[in-house]
Amino acid sequence: MINKRSCKESALALLLRRDYATQELIQKLKYKGYLADNINQVMDELARIGYLQDERYTANLIEKYRRKGIGPRRVLIELTKRGISEELIEKFLQDTDLVWQISAHTAWTKRFKGQKSQHRLERGKQIRFLQYRGFTDEQIKKVVNEMSEG
């Protein structure tokens, strides 16, 4: 299992199923027992022919998380776990605050179905929900205040 051809075939088989960050794919191939030299050669070749693009992967994953109602803090954590550099993540997280604000509002509406929060305990529950989802304190404050004034 140490030759370059087999390593490339394994990498392509993995990429056929879904996109991977470069670091994720390297880890998968190391786990399968391929040599680091072969892995690096295959990674270079796949990047050169456009099969491995961390920028595209990052943009798609951020959009996926945003549609799920996940905030920028949690997106940063999830992408870092996948081996994507913080510089690349920050590049894509630089969206206007309005985009994240809309995402926070959508997540709140989906979870609480428009119920207003006059009671302190209910507001706390809503704040914790949005914190867990990874929204910033400023985004949370805007959504909860807007929805309690309503």
Number of domains the chain contains: 3
- In this structure, the answer to whether residues 26 and 14 fall within a common structural domain is yes
Does one domain contain both 101 and 80? no
pTM for this predicted structure = 0.81
Please indicate, yes or no, whether residues 88 and 101 belong to a single structural domain of this protein: no
Q: How confident is the model at residue 86 (pLDDT cuts 50, 70, 90)?
A: confident
What is the reported pLDDT for 18? 92
How would residue 14 be classed by pLDDT, with cut points 50, 70 and 90? very high
Q: Residues 88, 121: one domain? A: no
93-116 pLDDT per residue, tens: 886 678 889 999 999 999 988 777
Token reading at 140: 């949370």
pLDDT of residue 82: 92
Is residue 137 predicted with pLDDT exceeding 80? yes
**DSSP category for residue 114:** T
The amino acid at 92: F
CA distance linking residue 20 with residue 61, whole number of Å:
10
59 and 43 fall within a common domain: no
CA distances from 50 to 46, 102, 125 (A): 6, 33, 45
Based on the fold, state whether residues 101 and 139 are members of the same structural domain: yes
CATH number, residue 40: 1.10.10
Cα separation, 149 vs 124, whole angstroms: 15
Cβ atoms 112, 146 nearer than 8 A: no
86 and 101, same domain (yes or no):
no
Do 37 and 65 lie in a common domain? no
118-129 per-position pLDDT tens digit: 788 888 999 999
pLDDT computed for residue 3 by the predictor? 85
Q: Range of 112's domain? A: 97-149
pLDDT averaged over the chain?
90
For CA atoms 50, 51, 55, 56, the dihedral sign is positive
- Do both 118 and 139 map to the same domain? yes
